[in-house]
Amino acid sequence: MFSKFIGNLIAVTLCAAPMMAQDLKSRSTYDDTPIVCAAYFRMLVRAYEDDGDQLGAKQYMERFNRSYTQGQANITSVGGTEEEAHKVTQRFIDIISEMAEKRQEPALKSLVAMCNRQFP
């Protein structure tokens, strides 16, 4: 069940990524891959915590911190704020959750592969 959840997470994110990158007031483009992966890793942290697996949660929290820091820097480099980075991350979490609920496995698998490549 957990692997199906992860698989579904990917599809939603990939569909929404281009529109999220242009969501800042300045309409500047930035690389949103790190923020997408941060959202994915944050969801995994919660899932591992819910299962009582603190080691797994810690490992994904480290990956979240790395990807979120990079994503936040990307957003602020085009005139965005830390608050906007937080909001974009939360929107990606919502999108990924929706993808998982709709069982969009091919897209979720792509998300997992992308994030594992970018933030091993």
User: What does the DSSP assignment read for 69-90?
Assistant: HHHHHHHHHTT--HHHHHHHHH
49 pLDDT exceeds 50? Answer: yes
Report the Cα 9 to chain-centroid distance in Å.
Answer: 9
Distance CA 66, CA 37 (A): 10
DSSP assignment, residue 104?
A: -
Q: What is the pLDDT of residue 21?
A: 52
> What pTM was computed for the model?
0.74
Is the pLDDT score of 73 beyond 60?
A: yes
Who's near 8: CB < 8 A, 6+ residues apart?
99, 100, 101, 102, 103, 104, 105, 107, 108
- Spatial neighbors of 63 by CB under 8 A, at least 6 apart, are 37, 41, 115, 119
Of 50, 53, 21, 44, the C-alpha closest to 97 is 44
CA 2/CA 6 separation, integer angstroms: 6
Q: Is the pLDDT of residue 83 over 90?
A: yes
pLDDT band at 12 (very low <50, low <70, confident <90, very high): very low
At 23 the pLDDT is 52
Cα 76 from Cα 78, distance rounded (Å): 5
